[in-house]
Amino acid sequence: MASGARILVTGGAGFIGSHLCERLLAEGHDVLCADNFYTGTKANVAHLMGNPYFELLRHDVTFPLYVEVDLIYNLACPASPVHYQRDPVQTMKTSVLGIINMLGLAKRRQAKLLQASTSEVYGDPEIHPQHEGYVGHVNMLGPRACYDEGKRAAETLCADYRRQHRVDAKLIRIFNTYGPRMHPNDGRVVSNFIVQALKGEEITLYGDGNQTRSFCFVNDLVEGMTRVMNSDSDFSGPVNLGNPHEITVRELAERVVAMTGSASRIVYRPLPENDPKRRKPDIGLAQKTFGWEPRVPLEEGLAQTIDYFRRALG
């Protein structure tokens, strides 16, 4: 895509959104960052405020937005269990009403839209690794359903707007992502372990620690997002974006303790309801279609993330 596009990033002051805004500005685009600051912060984009091609707008996507844009990245939604379970009704509204409003904007403007969906649409998967053709194993009545089912409904709406209104809507499914600007209290294992280790607190593991996750550094994810957005209009996805290198949560905790030089000890707590036991993306489609795969090794990404939290925690 040539530089100079007018791009809306909803949830742009969040962890991933702020890195995406940074990338788009570096490519010479005009970026409108919309965020209601429920989980995003102005601090995440403060360094961009002096750029004349960057604009920050306080806006909740559950309400319509009338702006002139060419591309829409819809990232607006709390993405960690701590945050999305705090107000589950609003979480569902953000996913469903938010995508309806953004698809309506895309339809009016004939703009291209990329919907940030999630690996959580697979629920607690019965197949491993998870590929895009798997329809999932989700408890629609559970405490995580506000997020899981909200994102699943958003995918349905994207597919229907594409079929009925010819909106160029693309779907990505984001697997566990980490890096600088993660919220220190978001309840995710990477930020939890690093903050606890740096503070010398007990490292909290849920369950026996043998559940697995696959961690993708944020810069790798942003690269994948832009490749999907810039793809031919015939491609709609969904496409998995994540790192297929799978490790246990206990191994991650031990690695963080070693890398921080912490004296923290690991303690165990009961596993939350519907918490997935295994999570690993099949990224064959992303590799074949876009030549995309993660480049940043876990050790390198963790070092950058630990350095960020050292500075943030003072």
Residues 186-235: tens digit of each pLDDT: 888 999 999 999 999 999 998 889 999 999 999 999 999 999 999 988 99
For the chain, report the end-to-end CA distance as a whole number of angstroms.
40
Domain assignment present for residue 312? The answer is no
The alpha carbon dihedral of 200, 310, 215, 188 has a sign of: positive
Question: Looking at the domain assignment, is residue 304 inside a domain?
Answer: no
Q: Which range of residues forms the domain containing residue 240?
A: 6-178+216-244+278-295
Percent of the chain with pLDDT over 70: 99
Closest CA to 77 of 36, 135, 44: 36
Task: Report the predicted TM-score, pTM, of the whole model to 2 decimal places.
Answer: 0.95
284 belongs to a structural domain = yes
Residue with tokens 């984001």: 174
Beta strand extents in the chain (DSSP E only): 6-10, 30-35, 54-58, 71-74, 112-118, 169-174, 177-178, 203-206, 212-214, 216-217, 239-241, 246-248, 266-269
| CATH number where 113 lies | 3.40.50.720
What pLDDT sits at residue 182? 96
Tens digit of each residue's pLDDT (9 = 90 or more) over 55-106: 999 999 999 999 999 999 999 998 878 888 999 999 999 999 999 999 999 9
Give the count of domains, the chain: 1
Which residues carry out catalysis? 147
- Is residue 48 assigned to a domain? yes
Three-class secondary structure of residue 9 per DSSP: strand
Per the domain annotation, does 134 fall within a domain? Answer: yes
- The sign of the CA dihedral 22, 23, 29, 31 is negative
Q: Is residue 21 part of a domain?
A: yes
Q: Are 47 and 18 in contact (CB under 8 A)?
A: no
93 domain-assigned? yes
Residue 2 has pLDDT above 70, yes or no: no
Distance, CA of 206 to chain centre: 22
The reply to whether 272 falls in a domain is no
